[in-house]
Structure 1
Protein backbone atom coordinates (compact mmCIF):
# COMPACT_ATOMS: atom_id res chain seq x y z
CA UNK A 1 0.00 0.00 0.00
CA UNK A 2 1.42 3.40 -1.02
CA UNK A 3 1.92 5.71 1.98
CA UNK A 4 -0.16 8.86 2.05
CA UNK A 5 1.65 12.09 1.18
CA UNK A 6 2.41 14.36 4.12
CA UNK A 7 2.61 18.13 4.46
CA UNK A 8 3.55 20.71 7.04
CA UNK A 9 1.55 23.93 6.66
CA UNK A 10 2.59 27.04 8.57
CA UNK A 11 0.21 29.82 9.56
CA UNK A 12 -2.73 27.44 9.49
CA UNK A 13 -5.14 28.76 12.15
CA UNK A 14 -7.40 30.42 9.58
CA UNK A 15 -7.67 32.18 6.24
CA UNK A 16 -5.39 30.99 3.47
CA UNK A 17 -3.51 28.56 5.70
CA UNK A 18 -6.65 26.77 6.83
CA UNK A 19 -7.98 26.58 3.28
CA UNK A 20 -4.68 25.08 2.11
CA UNK A 21 -4.79 22.47 4.88
CA UNK A 22 -8.36 21.52 3.96
CA UNK A 23 -7.49 21.36 0.26
CA UNK A 24 -4.54 19.08 0.94
CA UNK A 25 -6.66 16.86 3.19
CA UNK A 26 -9.18 16.53 0.37
CA UNK A 27 -6.29 15.50 -1.90
CA UNK A 28 -5.30 12.70 0.48
CA UNK A 29 -2.54 14.31 2.54
CA UNK A 30 -1.81 13.80 6.21
CA UNK A 31 -1.00 17.09 7.87
CA UNK A 32 0.96 18.91 10.53
CA UNK A 33 -0.53 22.38 10.88
CA UNK A 34 1.51 25.03 12.65
CA UNK A 35 0.88 28.41 14.22
CA UNK A 36 2.22 30.45 17.11
CA UNK A 37 0.08 28.54 19.58
CA UNK A 38 -2.26 25.60 19.59
CA UNK A 39 -5.53 27.43 20.13
CA UNK A 40 -9.14 26.72 19.26
CA UNK A 41 -8.72 28.13 15.76
CA UNK A 42 -5.80 25.83 14.95
CA UNK A 43 -7.64 22.86 16.44
CA UNK A 44 -10.59 23.69 14.18
CA UNK A 45 -8.26 23.36 11.19
CA UNK A 46 -7.27 19.94 12.50
CA UNK A 47 -10.93 18.95 12.91
CA UNK A 48 -11.76 20.00 9.36
CA UNK A 49 -8.84 17.98 7.99
CA UNK A 50 -9.65 14.97 10.16
CA UNK A 51 -13.26 15.01 8.96
CA UNK A 52 -11.86 14.56 5.45
CA UNK A 53 -9.94 11.45 6.47
CA UNK A 54 -6.56 13.00 7.17
CA UNK A 55 -4.29 12.17 10.06
CA UNK A 56 -3.73 15.72 11.30
CA UNK A 57 -1.86 17.25 14.22
CA UNK A 58 -1.60 20.81 15.54
CA UNK A 59 1.83 22.12 16.51
CA UNK A 60 2.97 25.38 18.08
CA UNK A 61 5.90 27.04 16.36
CA UNK A 62 7.35 30.49 15.69
CA UNK A 63 9.14 30.34 12.34
CA UNK A 64 11.23 33.39 13.24
CA UNK A 65 12.90 31.26 15.97
CA UNK A 66 15.19 29.43 13.57
CA UNK A 67 16.91 27.53 16.38
CA UNK A 68 13.65 25.58 16.85
CA UNK A 69 13.12 24.58 13.21
CA UNK A 70 14.60 21.11 13.54
CA UNK A 71 12.52 20.43 16.66
CA UNK A 72 9.39 21.48 14.78
CA UNK A 73 10.20 19.23 11.83
CA UNK A 74 11.01 16.35 14.16
CA UNK A 75 7.65 16.75 15.91
CA UNK A 76 5.78 16.83 12.62
CA UNK A 77 7.59 13.74 11.33
CA UNK A 78 6.96 11.85 14.57
CA UNK A 79 3.24 12.59 14.30
CA UNK A 80 2.51 11.95 10.62
CA UNK A 81 5.59 10.27 9.15
CA UNK A 82 8.35 11.44 6.82
CA UNK A 83 7.38 14.80 5.34
CA UNK A 84 7.04 15.22 1.59
CA UNK A 85 5.70 18.78 1.32
CA UNK A 86 6.26 22.11 3.07
CA UNK A 87 3.84 24.99 2.61
CA UNK A 88 5.33 28.28 3.77
CA UNK A 89 2.24 30.32 4.51
CA UNK A 90 3.00 31.98 7.86
CA UNK A 91 3.68 35.69 7.65
CA UNK A 92 3.03 39.06 9.23
CA UNK A 93 1.98 42.44 7.93
CA UNK A 94 3.22 45.84 9.06
CA UNK A 95 2.70 47.05 12.61
CA UNK A 96 0.81 50.03 11.18
CA UNK A 97 0.25 51.41 7.70
CA UNK A 98 1.82 54.79 7.11
CA UNK A 99 4.28 57.01 5.28
CA UNK A 100 7.34 55.18 3.99
CA UNK A 101 9.43 57.95 5.53
CA UNK A 102 8.10 57.00 8.97
CA UNK A 103 8.65 53.21 8.88
CA UNK A 104 10.05 52.05 12.19
CA UNK A 105 12.99 49.67 12.54
CA UNK A 106 10.73 47.49 14.73
CA UNK A 107 8.14 47.02 11.98
CA UNK A 108 10.81 46.50 9.30
CA UNK A 109 12.68 43.94 11.39
CA UNK A 110 9.48 42.07 12.29
CA UNK A 111 8.53 41.62 8.62
CA UNK A 112 12.06 40.55 7.76
CA UNK A 113 12.46 38.15 10.70
CA UNK A 114 9.22 36.27 10.01
CA UNK A 115 8.47 36.65 6.30
CA UNK A 116 11.97 36.44 4.88
CA UNK A 117 14.55 35.13 7.34
CA UNK A 118 12.32 32.66 9.18
CA UNK A 119 10.83 31.22 6.00
CA UNK A 120 14.23 31.01 4.29
CA UNK A 121 15.80 28.98 7.07
CA UNK A 122 12.77 26.72 7.54
CA UNK A 123 12.93 26.00 3.81
CA UNK A 124 16.64 25.29 4.09
CA UNK A 125 16.12 22.88 7.01
CA UNK A 126 13.29 21.12 5.20
CA UNK A 127 15.27 20.82 1.96
CA UNK A 128 18.22 19.29 3.80
CA UNK A 129 15.86 16.80 5.40
CA UNK A 130 14.34 15.82 2.06
CA UNK A 131 17.79 15.24 0.62
CA UNK A 132 18.71 12.91 3.49
CA UNK A 133 15.56 10.83 3.07
CA UNK A 134 15.29 7.96 0.65
CA UNK A 135 13.33 9.27 -2.36
CA UNK A 136 9.72 8.13 -2.15
CA UNK A 137 6.82 7.77 -4.55
CA UNK A 138 5.26 11.00 -3.29
CA UNK A 139 5.96 14.31 -5.00
CA UNK A 140 8.49 16.16 -2.87
CA UNK A 141 7.98 19.89 -2.88
CA UNK A 142 8.20 23.26 -1.17
CA UNK A 143 5.49 25.85 -1.79
CA UNK A 144 5.85 29.45 -0.62
CA UNK A 145 3.05 31.98 -0.38
CA UNK A 146 4.32 35.46 -1.16
CA UNK A 147 2.13 38.34 -2.34
CA UNK A 148 1.16 40.52 -5.28
CA UNK A 149 3.20 43.16 -3.42
CA UNK A 150 6.29 41.43 -4.80
CA UNK A 151 5.46 43.54 -7.89
CA UNK A 152 2.82 46.08 -6.88
CA UNK A 153 4.28 48.94 -4.83
CA UNK A 154 2.39 49.96 -1.71
CA UNK A 155 4.17 52.84 0.01
CA UNK A 156 1.86 52.49 3.01
CA UNK A 157 3.41 49.13 3.90
CA UNK A 158 6.79 49.21 2.27
CA UNK A 159 8.53 46.93 4.75
CA UNK A 160 6.01 44.17 3.98
CA UNK A 161 6.62 44.44 0.23
CA UNK A 162 10.38 44.36 0.73
CA UNK A 163 10.13 41.23 2.87
CA UNK A 164 7.95 39.44 0.33
CA UNK A 165 10.14 40.49 -2.60
CA UNK A 166 13.11 38.95 -0.82
CA UNK A 167 11.11 35.80 -0.18
CA UNK A 168 10.21 35.58 -3.86
CA UNK A 169 13.89 35.62 -4.76
CA UNK A 170 14.56 32.96 -2.13
CA UNK A 171 11.92 30.72 -3.69
CA UNK A 172 13.54 31.03 -7.11
CA UNK A 173 16.96 30.31 -5.66
CA UNK A 174 15.75 27.14 -3.95
CA UNK A 175 13.86 26.14 -7.11
CA UNK A 176 17.04 26.19 -9.18
CA UNK A 177 19.16 24.59 -6.48
CA UNK A 178 16.78 21.66 -5.94
CA UNK A 179 15.36 21.12 -9.43
CA UNK A 180 17.83 18.43 -10.44
CA UNK A 181 17.18 16.53 -7.20
CA UNK A 182 13.52 15.93 -7.97
CA UNK A 183 12.25 18.50 -5.45
CA UNK A 184 9.74 20.95 -6.83
CA UNK A 185 9.83 24.49 -5.47
CA UNK A 186 6.88 26.77 -6.22
CA UNK A 187 5.65 30.26 -5.42
CA UNK A 188 2.08 31.54 -5.17
CA UNK A 189 1.36 35.27 -5.23
CA UNK A 190 -2.10 36.03 -3.81
CA UNK A 191 -3.75 39.32 -4.61
CA UNK A 192 -6.81 40.65 -2.80
CA UNK A 193 -7.96 37.66 -0.76
CA UNK A 194 -10.86 37.92 1.71
CA UNK A 195 -9.30 37.04 5.06
CA UNK A 196 -9.17 38.43 8.56
CA UNK A 197 -6.04 40.38 7.57
CA UNK A 198 -7.82 42.23 4.75
CA UNK A 199 -10.99 43.17 6.67
CA UNK A 200 -9.73 46.71 7.46
CA UNK A 201 -9.33 47.39 3.72
CA UNK A 202 -12.59 45.83 2.55
CA UNK A 203 -14.64 48.99 1.97
CA UNK A 204 -11.85 50.67 0.04
CA UNK A 205 -11.17 47.70 -2.22
CA UNK A 206 -14.84 46.85 -2.74
CA UNK A 207 -15.15 50.11 -4.62
CA UNK A 208 -11.85 49.69 -6.47
CA UNK A 209 -12.79 46.17 -7.59
CA UNK A 210 -16.12 47.44 -8.91
CA UNK A 211 -14.24 50.08 -10.91
CA UNK A 212 -12.06 47.42 -12.55
CA UNK A 213 -9.02 47.07 -10.30
CA UNK A 214 -9.24 43.32 -10.91
CA UNK A 215 -10.31 41.75 -14.19
CA UNK A 216 -12.55 39.34 -12.25
CA UNK A 217 -14.76 41.65 -10.24
CA UNK A 218 -14.73 39.94 -6.88
CA UNK A 219 -12.47 39.34 -3.94
CA UNK A 220 -10.36 36.22 -4.10
CA UNK A 221 -11.19 33.53 -1.59
CA UNK A 222 -8.73 31.45 0.43
CA UNK A 223 -9.97 28.40 -1.49
CA UNK A 224 -8.74 30.00 -4.74
CA UNK A 225 -5.21 29.95 -3.35
CA UNK A 226 -5.67 26.45 -1.94
CA UNK A 227 -6.59 25.02 -5.36
CA UNK A 228 -3.33 26.25 -6.83
CA UNK A 229 -1.31 24.96 -3.88
CA UNK A 230 -2.96 21.54 -4.11
CA UNK A 231 -2.16 21.33 -7.83
CA UNK A 232 1.49 22.03 -7.04
CA UNK A 233 1.64 19.67 -4.06
CA UNK A 234 0.20 16.76 -6.01
CA UNK A 235 2.77 17.12 -8.80
CA UNK A 236 0.52 18.83 -11.31
CA UNK A 237 3.29 21.16 -12.53
CA UNK A 238 6.18 18.76 -13.18
CA UNK A 239 8.11 21.00 -15.60
CA UNK A 240 7.83 24.24 -13.65
CA UNK A 241 10.93 25.68 -11.97
CA UNK A 242 10.84 29.02 -10.17
CA UNK A 243 7.83 30.50 -11.94
CA UNK A 244 5.39 32.27 -9.63
CA UNK A 245 1.66 31.73 -10.07
CA UNK A 246 -0.45 34.84 -9.35
CA UNK A 247 -3.83 34.22 -7.77
CA UNK A 248 -5.10 37.77 -8.13
CA UNK A 249 -8.07 37.85 -10.50
CA UNK A 250 -6.01 39.84 -13.03
CA UNK A 251 -4.94 42.52 -10.55
CA UNK A 252 -1.41 42.84 -11.93
CA UNK A 253 -2.23 42.65 -15.63
CA UNK A 254 -1.77 46.11 -17.21
CA UNK A 255 -5.19 47.41 -18.27
CA UNK A 256 -6.39 50.50 -20.12
Structure 2
Protein backbone atom coordinates (compact mmCIF):
# COMPACT_ATOMS: atom_id res chain seq x y z
CA UNK A 1 0.00 0.00 0.00
CA UNK A 2 1.26 3.48 -0.82
CA UNK A 3 2.19 5.66 2.14
CA UNK A 4 -0.16 8.30 0.81
CA UNK A 5 -3.68 7.95 2.21
CA UNK A 6 -5.92 8.45 -0.80
CA UNK A 7 -9.26 7.92 0.93
CA UNK A 8 -10.21 8.22 4.59
CA UNK A 9 -10.84 4.92 6.35
CA UNK A 10 -13.74 3.93 8.58
CA UNK A 11 -14.36 1.01 10.88
CA UNK A 12 -17.97 -0.11 11.32
CA UNK A 13 -18.56 -2.69 14.03
CA UNK A 14 -21.37 -5.13 13.33
CA UNK A 15 -21.23 -4.19 9.66
CA UNK A 16 -22.23 -7.56 8.22
CA UNK A 17 -25.91 -6.75 7.62
CA UNK A 18 -28.79 -4.51 8.68
CA UNK A 19 -27.97 -1.02 9.91
CA UNK A 20 -24.24 -1.78 9.89
CA UNK A 21 -24.30 -2.73 6.23
CA UNK A 22 -26.24 0.40 5.32
CA UNK A 23 -23.72 2.55 7.21
CA UNK A 24 -20.76 0.86 5.52
CA UNK A 25 -22.30 1.43 2.10
CA UNK A 26 -23.14 5.05 2.91
CA UNK A 27 -19.59 5.77 4.02
CA UNK A 28 -18.17 4.10 0.92
CA UNK A 29 -20.47 6.29 -1.18
CA UNK A 30 -19.07 9.31 0.64
CA UNK A 31 -15.49 8.36 -0.23
CA UNK A 32 -14.33 6.07 2.57
CA UNK A 33 -12.53 2.78 2.53
CA UNK A 34 -14.47 0.68 5.01
CA UNK A 35 -13.53 -2.13 7.36
CA UNK A 36 -16.33 -4.05 9.02
CA UNK A 37 -16.30 -6.38 11.99
CA UNK A 38 -18.75 -9.08 12.99
CA UNK A 39 -18.97 -12.46 14.66
CA UNK A 40 -19.41 -14.35 11.38
CA UNK A 41 -17.74 -14.12 8.00
CA UNK A 42 -20.41 -15.50 5.71
CA UNK A 43 -22.50 -14.73 2.64
CA UNK A 44 -23.94 -11.63 4.32
CA UNK A 45 -20.52 -10.14 5.03
CA UNK A 46 -19.46 -10.93 1.46
CA UNK A 47 -22.44 -8.96 0.15
CA UNK A 48 -21.47 -5.97 2.28
CA UNK A 49 -17.87 -6.07 1.07
CA UNK A 50 -19.02 -6.21 -2.57
CA UNK A 51 -21.35 -3.26 -2.03
CA UNK A 52 -18.51 -1.20 -0.54
CA UNK A 53 -16.24 -2.00 -3.47
CA UNK A 54 -19.01 -1.25 -5.97
CA UNK A 55 -18.95 2.33 -4.66
CA UNK A 56 -15.23 2.73 -5.18
CA UNK A 57 -14.03 1.88 -1.70
CA UNK A 58 -11.66 -0.77 -0.51
CA UNK A 59 -13.29 -3.24 1.87
CA UNK A 60 -12.04 -5.41 4.72
CA UNK A 61 -13.73 -7.92 7.01
CA UNK A 62 -12.26 -8.59 10.46
CA UNK A 63 -13.86 -11.31 12.53
CA UNK A 64 -14.44 -9.93 16.00
CA UNK A 65 -16.38 -10.68 19.17
CA UNK A 66 -17.08 -7.27 20.66
CA UNK A 67 -17.74 -8.81 24.05
CA UNK A 68 -14.15 -10.10 24.25
CA UNK A 69 -12.37 -6.85 25.07
CA UNK A 70 -8.99 -8.59 25.07
CA UNK A 71 -9.18 -8.83 21.27
CA UNK A 72 -9.85 -5.15 20.54
CA UNK A 73 -6.19 -4.17 20.26
CA UNK A 74 -5.55 -6.89 17.69
CA UNK A 75 -8.68 -5.92 15.78
CA UNK A 76 -7.35 -2.39 15.47
CA UNK A 77 -3.90 -3.67 14.48
CA UNK A 78 -5.51 -5.72 11.70
CA UNK A 79 -7.43 -2.69 10.45
CA UNK A 80 -4.43 -0.36 10.60
CA UNK A 81 -2.22 -2.84 8.74
CA UNK A 82 -4.77 -2.59 5.94
CA UNK A 83 -5.48 1.15 5.90
CA UNK A 84 -2.60 2.75 7.77
CA UNK A 85 -4.76 5.34 9.51
CA UNK A 86 -8.30 5.27 10.88
CA UNK A 87 -10.51 8.33 10.56
CA UNK A 88 -13.93 7.17 11.65
CA UNK A 89 -15.24 4.62 14.13
CA UNK A 90 -18.92 3.69 14.02
CA UNK A 91 -19.99 1.72 17.07
CA UNK A 92 -22.88 -0.18 15.55
CA UNK A 93 -22.49 -3.74 16.86
CA UNK A 94 -24.97 -4.76 19.51
CA UNK A 95 -27.53 -7.33 20.52
CA UNK A 96 -31.09 -7.37 21.75
CA UNK A 97 -32.42 -9.12 24.80
CA UNK A 98 -32.01 -12.90 24.41
CA UNK A 99 -35.71 -13.20 25.15
CA UNK A 100 -38.45 -10.70 25.85
CA UNK A 101 -40.36 -11.06 29.09
CA UNK A 102 -41.07 -9.77 32.57
CA UNK A 103 -38.13 -7.85 34.00
CA UNK A 104 -38.75 -9.74 37.25
CA UNK A 105 -37.54 -12.84 35.39
CA UNK A 106 -34.32 -11.42 33.90
CA UNK A 107 -31.44 -13.81 34.54
CA UNK A 108 -27.93 -12.64 35.51
CA UNK A 109 -26.29 -14.38 32.55
CA UNK A 110 -28.58 -12.58 30.07
CA UNK A 111 -27.94 -9.28 31.86
CA UNK A 112 -24.17 -9.77 31.78
CA UNK A 113 -24.14 -10.83 28.12
CA UNK A 114 -26.17 -7.90 26.84
CA UNK A 115 -24.27 -5.29 28.85
CA UNK A 116 -21.01 -7.02 27.97
CA UNK A 117 -21.67 -6.45 24.28
CA UNK A 118 -23.67 -3.24 24.10
CA UNK A 119 -21.90 -1.26 26.81
CA UNK A 120 -18.65 -2.84 27.98
CA UNK A 121 -17.56 -3.99 24.54
CA UNK A 122 -18.50 -0.68 22.94
CA UNK A 123 -16.71 1.35 25.62
CA UNK A 124 -13.44 -0.51 25.34
CA UNK A 125 -13.48 -0.59 21.53
CA UNK A 126 -13.98 3.17 21.59
CA UNK A 127 -11.13 3.52 24.08
CA UNK A 128 -8.73 1.59 21.83
CA UNK A 129 -9.60 3.65 18.76
CA UNK A 130 -9.56 6.92 20.69
CA UNK A 131 -6.01 6.24 21.85
CA UNK A 132 -4.95 5.68 18.26
CA UNK A 133 -6.64 8.88 17.11
CA UNK A 134 -5.06 10.90 19.91
CA UNK A 135 -1.62 9.57 19.03
CA UNK A 136 -1.86 10.44 15.34
CA UNK A 137 -2.62 13.47 13.24
CA UNK A 138 -4.73 13.48 10.10
CA UNK A 139 -5.43 15.61 7.06
CA UNK A 140 -8.97 14.20 7.01
CA UNK A 141 -11.77 14.93 9.49
CA UNK A 142 -12.16 12.30 12.18
CA UNK A 143 -15.15 11.24 14.21
CA UNK A 144 -16.57 8.58 16.50
CA UNK A 145 -20.27 7.80 16.14
CA UNK A 146 -22.18 5.43 18.40
CA UNK A 147 -25.48 3.95 17.24
CA UNK A 148 -27.65 3.55 20.33
CA UNK A 149 -31.45 3.30 20.47
CA UNK A 150 -34.56 5.15 21.61
CA UNK A 151 -34.35 2.61 24.43
CA UNK A 152 -31.61 4.80 25.87
CA UNK A 153 -34.42 6.90 27.34
CA UNK A 154 -37.68 5.07 26.56
CA UNK A 155 -38.42 2.20 28.93
CA UNK A 156 -39.59 -1.22 27.78
CA UNK A 157 -40.12 -3.55 30.74
CA UNK A 158 -39.93 -6.65 28.55
CA UNK A 159 -36.38 -5.75 27.44
CA UNK A 160 -34.83 -4.54 30.68
CA UNK A 161 -31.23 -5.55 30.08
CA UNK A 162 -31.28 -4.05 26.59
CA UNK A 163 -32.66 -0.73 27.82
CA UNK A 164 -30.09 -0.56 30.59
CA UNK A 165 -27.25 -1.29 28.19
CA UNK A 166 -28.36 1.48 25.83
CA UNK A 167 -29.07 4.01 28.58
CA UNK A 168 -25.36 4.34 29.38
CA UNK A 169 -24.28 5.13 25.82
CA UNK A 170 -25.35 8.80 25.94
CA UNK A 171 -23.04 9.32 28.91
CA UNK A 172 -20.27 7.40 27.17
CA UNK A 173 -20.65 9.75 24.21
CA UNK A 174 -20.38 12.81 26.43
CA UNK A 175 -17.34 11.45 28.24
CA UNK A 176 -15.40 10.69 25.05
CA UNK A 177 -16.54 13.98 23.50
CA UNK A 178 -14.99 15.86 26.40
CA UNK A 179 -11.81 13.81 26.38
CA UNK A 180 -11.21 14.13 22.64
CA UNK A 181 -12.39 17.72 22.14
CA UNK A 182 -8.93 19.23 22.46
CA UNK A 183 -7.77 17.05 19.57
CA UNK A 184 -10.65 18.20 17.39
CA UNK A 185 -12.21 14.72 17.27
CA UNK A 186 -16.00 14.97 17.60
CA UNK A 187 -18.01 12.19 19.20
CA UNK A 188 -21.70 11.70 18.49
CA UNK A 189 -24.65 9.46 19.26
CA UNK A 190 -27.25 8.44 16.69
CA UNK A 191 -30.43 7.19 18.34
CA UNK A 192 -32.61 5.08 16.01
CA UNK A 193 -36.22 4.23 16.66
CA UNK A 194 -38.06 1.25 15.17
CA UNK A 195 -35.93 0.25 12.21
CA UNK A 196 -36.69 -2.53 9.73
CA UNK A 197 -33.78 -4.93 10.25
CA UNK A 198 -33.19 -8.64 10.87
CA UNK A 199 -33.24 -7.83 14.61
CA UNK A 200 -36.83 -6.52 14.45
CA UNK A 201 -38.10 -9.10 11.97
CA UNK A 202 -39.44 -11.36 14.70
CA UNK A 203 -41.69 -8.63 16.14
CA UNK A 204 -42.66 -7.01 12.84
CA UNK A 205 -46.36 -7.84 13.17
CA UNK A 206 -46.49 -6.30 16.62
CA UNK A 207 -45.01 -3.05 15.36
CA UNK A 208 -47.20 -2.99 12.26
CA UNK A 209 -50.24 -3.06 14.52
CA UNK A 210 -48.85 -0.31 16.73
CA UNK A 211 -48.07 1.89 13.74
CA UNK A 212 -51.79 1.82 12.96
CA UNK A 213 -52.40 3.02 16.52
CA UNK A 214 -50.14 6.03 15.96
CA UNK A 215 -47.02 4.83 17.77
CA UNK A 216 -44.69 6.60 15.31
CA UNK A 217 -45.80 10.09 14.22
CA UNK A 218 -44.34 9.59 10.73
CA UNK A 219 -46.38 6.37 10.54
CA UNK A 220 -43.77 4.13 8.96
CA UNK A 221 -40.85 1.88 9.64
CA UNK A 222 -37.47 3.49 9.84
CA UNK A 223 -35.09 2.04 7.28
CA UNK A 224 -31.44 1.20 7.79
CA UNK A 225 -30.61 3.86 5.19
CA UNK A 226 -32.24 6.53 7.38
CA UNK A 227 -29.72 5.76 10.11
CA UNK A 228 -26.86 5.47 7.64
CA UNK A 229 -27.45 8.95 6.21
CA UNK A 230 -27.34 10.43 9.71
CA UNK A 231 -24.07 8.68 10.46
CA UNK A 232 -22.62 9.82 7.14
CA UNK A 233 -23.38 13.47 7.89
CA UNK A 234 -21.73 13.26 11.32
CA UNK A 235 -18.66 11.42 10.05
CA UNK A 236 -17.67 14.03 7.50
CA UNK A 237 -16.58 16.82 9.85
CA UNK A 238 -19.19 19.44 8.96
CA UNK A 239 -20.72 19.26 12.45
CA UNK A 240 -17.48 19.05 14.42
CA UNK A 241 -18.45 21.84 16.83
CA UNK A 242 -21.59 19.90 17.79
CA UNK A 243 -19.51 17.23 19.52
CA UNK A 244 -21.38 15.34 22.22
CA UNK A 245 -24.71 15.72 20.46
CA UNK A 246 -27.37 13.10 19.85
CA UNK A 247 -29.30 12.82 16.59
CA UNK A 248 -32.70 11.14 16.83
CA UNK A 249 -33.65 8.98 13.84
CA UNK A 250 -37.05 7.75 15.01
CA UNK A 251 -39.81 9.46 13.01
CA UNK A 252 -40.83 11.47 16.06
CA UNK A 253 -41.30 8.42 18.30
CA UNK A 254 -39.37 9.89 21.23
CA UNK A 255 -41.00 13.34 21.17
CA UNK A 256 -43.03 13.82 24.34
CA UNK A 257 -46.56 14.77 23.29
CA UNK A 258 -50.08 14.88 24.71
Q: TM-score range by the shorter chain?
A: over 0.9
Which among 77, 86, 89 is matched to residue 86 of structure 1?
89
Please give the root-mean-square deviation of Cα atoms over the aligned residues, in Å.
1.1
1:31-180 matches, cutoff 5 A? 31-133=34-136, 135-180=137-182
> Quick one: distance in 1 between partners of 2:5 and 2:82?
18
Gap regions ≥5 residues in structure 1: none
What residue is the counterpart of 1:250 in the other structure?
252
Structure 1 range deviating more: 20-29 or 229-238:
229-238
- Structure 2 residue aligned with 1:12: 15
TM-score calculated relative to the size of structure 2: 0.96
User: 2 CA distance for matches of 1:19 and 1:110?
Assistant: 26
Structure 2 residues without counterparts, runs of 5 or longer: none
2: CA distance between counterparts of 1:2 and 1:8? 15
SS of residue in 1 equivalent to 2:90: strand
Q: Distance in 1 between matches of 2:159 and 2:61?
A: 31
- Deviating beyond 6 angstroms after TM superposition, the runs of 4 or more aligned structure 1 residues are none
Distance 1:238 1:129 in 2: 19
**Number of matched pairs:** 255
TM-score, length of structure 1 as denominator length? 0.97
Per-residue Cα deviation, 1:170-225 (whole angstroms, up to 9, x for no partner): 11111111112111101000000000110121111112112221111100000000
Candidates 220, 223, 238, aligned match of 1:221: 223
Q: Any residues of structure 2 matched to 1:233-248 within 5 Å, and which?
A: 233-248=235-250
